[in-house]
């Protein structure tokens, strides 16, 4: 290579690496600003069961924070705590939020050796709440997180003040469209193995994704791809888990916890027909359906989702 060309190659490599570093810096700082705006701070701790947790919690210096009711927010499959940030921002100061990365996700312990069934994840979350010295709380979960919420209500009904099921699994009535894709394709569109495949995941998950710069999506896709092997293990555990198919098993009618079923009408993964089924099975339930919204309402429509839960949680206060 000629010296001139070598110089240009080194110069281009330098700037390309610099751009990558700058993108990561912008991503990290942008996310930090979102957390701060929502009154959330990062925390890490290791619980007695050996799980190393990363979670977001309401800032401890908030005025009268000890007087606020606690809300545990649980993300869905292949997601993380950041899915709830904009939702929490709408309710900042009204509640004390605990928003963990579930085991197998985000920055919490990720390994192929864990049991990722709903009952196991629910037990771990109860251990986490013990470590935080929180005895009673509201819980809301999206998708898989909803099925975990149901498992928590079964394991510790005396601790759960209310339950929110947001486009929830548990009955897991998948849309015909999604079933067909899973049957015909060798790869699950919810598990990107390459960064660019995350674009497909977003199209399945959201009808109207919130605006994010392209490099944000690229970095998120890279993170998801790096965890693909663990995601595949989690998915297999879900498919074998009776906690994902509770319909007509006399499990849900025994749950007396006040429940809000919140759903996006355009959900391409778990159809809106799940709503009536949940209302029929859960004796203390009501529903809110958001038009034009997909599988992740708290991220797609945080204001409308927060309004629904604000009213519900006020009524559910002990």
Express each pLDDT in 146-195 by its tens digit: 999 999 999 999 999 999 999 999 999 999 999 999 998 888 999 999 99
The confidence score (pLDDT) of residue 16 equals 46
- Cα–chain center distance at 93: 21
H runs (alpha helix) in 55-209: 85-90, 118-131, 144-155, 176-184, 198-205
Domains of the chain by start residue, with CATH: 31-175+243-315 (3.40.50.1820)
User: How deeply is 31 buried, as exposed, middle or buried, from its count of CB atoms within 10 A (0-12, 13-18, 19+)?
Assistant: middle
H runs (alpha helix) in 144-263: 144-155, 176-184, 198-205, 214-226, 228-239
More confident residue, 67 or 9: 67
Express each pLDDT in 57-86 by its tens digit: 999 865 556 689 999 999 999 999 999 999
b/e string for 232-261 if b means 16 or more Cβ within 10 A?
ebbbebbeebebbbbeeeebbeebebbbbb
The confidence score (pLDDT) of residue 6 equals 44
Q: How far apart are CA 141 and CA 221, in angstroms?
A: 23
**Pairing mode of beta strands 285-290, 259-264:** parallel
The confidence score (pLDDT) of residue 289 equals 98
Q: In degrees rounded to 5, what are phi and psi of residue 160?
A: -100, 115
Does pLDDT of 5 surpass 70? Answer: no
Express each pLDDT in 112-157 by its tens digit: 999 999 999 999 999 999 999 999 999 999 999 999 999 999 999 9
Does pLDDT of 245 surpass 80? Answer: yes
Note the pTM of the prediction, 2 decimals: 0.92
Cα–Cα distances in angstroms (integers) from residue 219 to residues 15, 16, 81, 216, 238, in the given order: 18, 15, 16, 5, 26
């Amino acid at each position: 290579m000629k010296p001139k060309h070598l110089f240009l190659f080194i110069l281009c490599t330098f700037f390309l690496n610099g751009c990558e570093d700058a993108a990561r810096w912008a991503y990290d700082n942008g996310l930090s600003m979102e957390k701060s705006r929502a009154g959330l701070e990062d925390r890490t701790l290791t619980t007695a069961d050996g799980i190393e947790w990363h979670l977001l919690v309401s800032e401890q210096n908030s005025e009268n924070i000890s007087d606020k009711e606690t809300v545990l927010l649980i993300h869905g499959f292949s997601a993380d705590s950041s899915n709830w940030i904009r939702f929490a921002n709408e309710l900042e100061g009204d509640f004390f939020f605990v928003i963990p990365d579930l085991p197998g996700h985000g920055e919490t312990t990720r390994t192929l050796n864990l049991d990722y069934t709903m009952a196991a994840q629910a037990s771990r979350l109860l251990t986490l709440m013990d470590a935080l010295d929180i005895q009673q709380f509201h819980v809301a979960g999206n998708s898989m997180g909803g099925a975990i919420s149901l498992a928590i209500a079964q394991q510790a009904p005396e601790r759960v003040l209310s339950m929110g099921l947001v486009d929830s699994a548990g009955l897991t009535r998948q849309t015909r469209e999604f079933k067909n894709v899973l049957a015909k394709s060798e790869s699950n569109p919810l598990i990107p193995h390459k960064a660019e495949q995350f674009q497909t995941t977003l199209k399945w998950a959201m009808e109207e994704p919130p605006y994010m710069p392209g490099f944000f999506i690229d970095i998120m896709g890279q993170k998801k791809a790096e965890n693909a092997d663990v995601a595949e293990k989690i998915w297999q555990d879900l498919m074998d888990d009776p906690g994902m198919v509770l319909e007509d098993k006399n499990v849900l009618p025994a749950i007396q916890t006040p429940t809000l079923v919140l759903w996006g009408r355009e959900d391409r993964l778990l159809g809106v027909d799940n709503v009536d089924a949940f209302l029929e099975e859960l004796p203390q339930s009501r529903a809110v359906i958001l038009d034009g919204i997909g599988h992740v309402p708290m991220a797609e429509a945080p204001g409308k989702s927060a309004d629904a839960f604000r009213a519900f949680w006020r009524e559910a206060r002990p």
